[in-house]
A and B are shown apart, each in its own frame.
Chain A
């Protein structure tokens, strides 16, 4: 009850016209930076920090929160339309989202992403309001052994994106795992596979790889096949609204995505991509038509998009209740708190209730604003697909190249982008799926570091993975996820015979 009245007071703060204006500015800027690859919410908030110095802290944070949520909405747009994920959290969206766009269902993909983001953002914010401290306590139970088990669980996603041939899928996965090794090894500080190129010391950026494999590789492939194929227009077929069937297929993935995403956000080493992987896996396992996955299944857009937004809400839980930043944006928001002489943590709720509850309330408001902003934009965005194909693809290449450069202001990233783009082209020619490569690249390094940390702490005793209950539980779930479908298939086979 106390929470509700505090939240009510928060709404009176957030709904003041002045603060409402900053929320609107925030969500608009956020959507814009989400759309542009290479510029994320973290950089944007950092750039805005000095400017907001003279602003009321409450208004500034309402704007920052708007940027943060807005970027999560915007990130899906380029994934779906251009196959160029703007953030790592929307990489999975590109797989089926872009396939939908190519079938003339771009508008439905964008709509299910936007509405899913709204649902997840709202439920996530509610969870933040009521169960944040509890979630944070759970998150603290995660040590390296638990994280490693979690990464193993996430790696089972790979089984959902392997494609027809196991050998080709695994080849792609191992390419990703090897790319993940490049750079300084965190535990020993030694360089691996950098070939004396200093720019490789920090590893290869996941977004560069995803954009290279998806956007550049795909574009080169289509260009190479252009002569042989009839020009088909990606533009709309039929209504831009989601049909009754689309709604029916979307609402469960939204909810499941939300419940997968939020807890991951609260984990300090969670990573915004992982819940999207898991959501994809879950949807494929539960879908009536798993064969549609990879070819434009709406569930595969609805679930992951909800998951990344719910994770964004989850990130705020440890930030506000413990002062514990779990993402780059959260780290900068922590710096912003300090700029105002505020210290997030258990005391912040008591010392600055107006700020905290105003900000939380503004998240609800921001979600509504984002939905109002994004749904009408859908009609506008899909017009992009009417652009004649050669122009559109040229545009994608320029856009991808600019985005890769902006990430670190580094020419080496451009070389990496194009080399990977060529590899992606080759993979497509040879019918090797590219998604496992991205999964391996993201999860491989995380799993390795946590595995080694766990063993360092246990002084080499590998039984920690089984003696820690959470870790053991996660490993068992992972095992079931891999073996379950096989067993089911065998039973079906036996029943049929």
Chain B
């Protein structure tokens, strides 16, 4: 991997700021400037939070359903199975993130090894 590859091109960094940094940071700065007098439990914020959670859920699904790079080499059944196994362990361990992640990873690795 060359040094130039690690730096990348300026266009991509420009896109990072326009599509990522500014749309994200604007909300923190609004919080800093207009901090007082916002009702945290307002109905609008409940809706916004629900949509934001669902968007993140969609991205999680996208990574598993249409996997990028090396993850695409893992058969569908193992990717879905890993999420399912992780979820079961997560729930059984009274919502331990760590246990859920480890169980999902072990399922996928064991499955890949078993399928050869």
A binds B: no
